[in-house]
Structure 1
Amino acid sequence: MLLPSPLEFQDRRIGLKREKGSLRNSYWRQSVRLGKAFALPTFCPVCTFQLIVKNASSLLEDKNPVKLEAEAMLDDLINSFTSLNSLANESDIQVASSRQRVADALMDTITSLDKFEQGVKDCLEA
């Protein structure tokens, strides 16, 4: 059995990394209106949440208050994730007050996620 040389192996790894980066960048350009501001390490893209609201509210009229509320909750959730991401990237975790701000932002995001979930349920029940 012939193993690839270290240079061949390294070339393959570099090629895979470039391809992965290219695919990820293409995905974000196509699906995330906020672009890199929302590129979270968890890769929970905005378009997933948008699709959930769109599908859950698809049978409701455009001006239906339940649909409008779900869309408002989606915007709030996106803002919460964006704020959390910015705060987490800019904070000095060694400082207690910074950790507390990140923890507060995380709790706000969880609250926004709970409200979003309820908004989707309301659309499905309407």
Structure 2
Amino acid sequence: MQEYIIQIRRTLLQILAWGFFISVGAYFTGSAWRIPGFIIGLFTSGVYFLLMCYRVSKSADMPIHKALLYMRVGWILRLSFIVIMLFMSLKIPVLDFWSAVFGLFTLQIVMFLNGVVIVGKSFFHII
């Protein structure tokens, strides 16, 4: 369980670092108006990740059939959260919808980059 918590913290820090670098890049390229939408998407991605981690940790102690039902209900709640965020980014004029969508994919980008690092380490035999 200790390793699980370390991995959660590490992933959250990587999400924050990705968000920081993208926000700084957007600011210096003259796209500062996109940053609020991106931050909303980044926040949603982080909350989605935390909700998923919470569900996984709670379902680990349950019987299999209860854990499956628990995870299915969690999936619906997480999807509803994403839909609400996207609807909110459409209705609030300050938020750019496509920036929010890009921020929403932050978790997937971070996970993909983690996978690339793991494969790279195993391919080049780096410990």
TM-score, normalization: structure 1? 0.44
Quick check: which has more Rg, 1 or 2?
A: 1
More helix by share: 2
